[in-house]
Chain A
Amino acid sequence: MNIAVLTKQVADLVEGIEIDASGRAVDRDSIRYILSESDDHALEEALLLKERSQAHVEVFSLETGEVRDGLCTALAKGADRVVMILAGQETPPSNHAAARMFASVLKGLPFDLILTGVRAIDDLDGSVGGLLAGYLGLPYVGLVRKVELVDGAATVEKEYPGGFAAELGVKLPAVLGIQAAEQPPRYVPVTRLRQVMKTAQVEEQEAEPASEEPVSVERMYKPEEGAGAAMLSGSAEEIARQIVNLLSERRVTR
């Protein structure tokens, strides 16, 4: 059983995010990168599968942001091999271009499962997992929260609104968009991470260049602060009183 995990680095919202002078793109200097959260879950699910069924886990990432740190973390967590994909361009690719590059690297490799996060916070033109499945002609299921391997096929649970889920059978090879791993992503102690960073072999592989920009952005803007809401102010006690008065006036609770 061979599993590929595709990950990407996205802007860390803790650090804030700015729009550049053109008004059409994010100011990349304002960004500090972090592994996309659902990709972290995809990696965790792959590692759980590895523990359960001796799978071989390889992690691929495009060379955006602090990719080396991210790949070393994956190694420290238990991935068998990590590969940085060289995109040959400065700007982060669109998801279409990213999926093309992943496809060019993965095509012909004997992977049974390709896991990736179901979506990233900067997804605009679709999600990498679905696009990749389309390009490679593989089945794709997204919003997956559980994967089991049974006789060369996968049984997955896909989330629906209202607490519902569907159990689906998927023939392999397949691409799965992971919403949440069965358990929260594991912790890597700093000591082990630093040891791995000292000795890690991060392989580099060139992708076929792809520069699809299927989306033409007219402008980018931030929502107004507190837009929409009438803001109440004062001490906590005063706020509490105002809220309760409001409910009382509007007879919400009657």
Chain B
Amino acid sequence: MSNDVWVVAEHARGQLSESTLETVGKGRELAHATGGKLVALLLTDDERNQINSLAAADLILLARRPEFREFTPEAYGGAIEAALKEAPPRLVLMGSTSVGLDLLSVLSARTGFACLDSCTRLDLRASQLLATCQIYGGKLFVEVALSSATTLVAVVPGSFAKPADQPSGRPEVRELTLPADLPVSRITFHRLIEPPSGDVDITKVPILVAVGRGIQNADNLPLAGELAEALGGAVCASRPVIDQGWLPLTRQVGKSGMTVKPKLYLALGISGAPEHLEGMKQSELIVAVNTDPKAPIFGAAHYGAVTDVVELIPMLTEEARKQGLKKAS
């Protein structure tokens, strides 16, 4: 049995995704601890820019085809399935992302390998691989022993730190031979839909005032705007606020929204669903305020307070103005 760890590399608009790099780092650690190799599985139309980012891998399995330019579940899935059946590794890691989630379950059903979603931790304890997954919106954690020969695991982005420095060596690149009889994909890529432009790019703003359900209604949003103004930042929000149409999609933080890493993330009235946390937990300083002391956001925050944000926000604004916090610009 192989002790190799595979990572399915994700790329968007030519660039490898951050979460792939994080997973490669963790996967390499586990593979080397068990005497296996870290294998990156790269399906792409043009690997030149991507291979350099995968220096931490021991081996890159490369499948280069024009149809791999954009992700489509069946073309990717068919190729990975074939590779998996050929030489099953110990662990296959992918992102718990729009890409990984389309692959994970289908592959599990097709190959018969076990699968796990929403993994936030991977440990090796007494030569036993353990995965910790969050369920019920982060209210419970489940520790699972990876006892089957091969397990497919979808990792929540942001769960592992991206390795600080890349190893100097160049990994071996091996072309993946795909079987000739791969069925034709029934899913075709039509076009990419860009987010509406013209708004503030919240990924580039150093100070974010983030609001969630606790803001109660749209009328209270200007309060958050004033606070952001007083701090010299911008307002962003969790999915419920966006779904209500109170703020444009460009202000959404979390899965299917933006991933942000500001100097300050002030989470006001956000309970902290995993989908939200993965988009902001790498912020430098997180201050969370919520009425529910059990809100998962406090697990990700550096500082927390339990109070009503609608009451608090104007006070914060006043205090910030009093102390002249805003950057002189």
Contacts and interface: CB of A to CB of B under 8 A. Distances in A.
Direct contact of A and B (CB under 8 A): yes
Interface of A: 11, 13, 17, 19, 26, 95-96, 99, 118-119, 121-135, 139-143, 155, 157-171, 174, 177, 179-180, 184, 214-233, 236-237, 239-248, 250, 252-254
B325 A217 contact: no
Contact of B136 (A121, A159, A162, A167): A121
The 10 A-B pairs of least Cβ separation, nearest first, read A134-B109, A130-B105, A163-B195, A126-B105, A229-B304, A240-B315, A171-B186, A229-B301, A167-B190, A165-B193
Contacts of A167: 189-193
Given A166-B70, A229-B299, 15 more contacts: A125-B115, A132-B109, A133-B105, A134-B109, A142-B98, A214-B115, A225-B293, A228-B298, A229-B286, A233-B306, A236-B308, A240-B318, A243-B287, A247-B231, A247-B264
Interface string B292-313: 0110101111111111100110
Nearest to B96: A119
B141 A223 contact: yes
B170 to A, nearest CB: 29
B116 A162 contact: no
Given A163-B252, A221-B141, A252 B98 contact: no
Nearest to B262: A252
B186 A170 contact: yes
A46 B187 CA distance: 20
Contacts of A142: 73, 98, 101-102
Contacts of B12: 160, 164
A241 B187 contact: no
Contacts of B298: 225-229, 231
Interface of B: 12, 70-74, 97-98, 101-102, 104-110, 114-118, 130, 133, 135-145, 147-148, 185-196, 203, 207, 231-232, 243, 249-250, 252, 255-259, 263-264, 266, 279, 284-289, 293-294, 296, 298-308, 311-312, 315-316, 318-320, 323, 325-327
18 contacts: A130-B106, A134-B105, A134-B110, A140-B102, A142-B101, A143-B98, A161-B257, A166-B70, A169-B190, A180-B243, A214-B115, A218-B145, A219-B142, A220-B141, A232-B303, A239-B305, A239-B315, A248-B325
A133 B106 contact: yes
Nearest to A173: B186
B183 to A, nearest CB: 9
Contacts of B311: 236
Nearest to B319: A244
A139 B74 contact: yes
A168 B72 contact: yes
Contact of A215 (B73, B144, B189): B144
B190 A246 contact: no
Contact of B116 (A122, A215, A228, A250): A215
A237 to B, nearest CB: 6
Nearest to A172: B186
Contacts of A19: 140
Q: From B114, B130, B259, name the one whose CB has the most chain A CB atoms within 10 angstroms.
A: B114
A115 B292 CA distance: 34
Which of B106, B137, B284 is most buried by chain A, counting CB atoms within 10 A of its CB? B106
B131 to A, nearest CB: 9
A161 B195 contact: no
A162 B266 CA distance: 20
Given A166-B71, A231-B305, A246-B287, A217 B143 contact: yes
Contacts of A162: 195, 203, 257-259
Nearest to A128: B105
A230 B299 CA distance: 10
Interface centre among B136, B249, B300 (most CB of A within 10 A): B136
A13 B136 contact: yes
Given A127-B117, A168-B190, A253-B325, A160 B296 contact: no
A177 to B, nearest CB: 8
A160 B320 CA distance: 36
Given A139-B74, A166-B71, A232 B143 contact: no
B159 to A, nearest CB: 14
B327 to A, nearest CB: 6
B109 A250 contact: no
A137 to B, nearest CB: 9
A226 B293 contact: yes
Contact of A252 (B73, B141, B285): B285
A11 to B, nearest CB: 6
A134 B249 CA distance: 33
A230 B298 CA distance: 9
Contacts of A158: 98
Contacts of A223: 138-139, 141, 296, 299
A244 B316 contact: yes
B325 A229 contact: no
Contacts of A179: 256
Nearest to B111: A134
A126 B151 CA distance: 11
Contact of B299 (A118, A227, A236): A227
A236 B186 CA distance: 57
A252 B193 contact: no
B243 A184 contact: yes
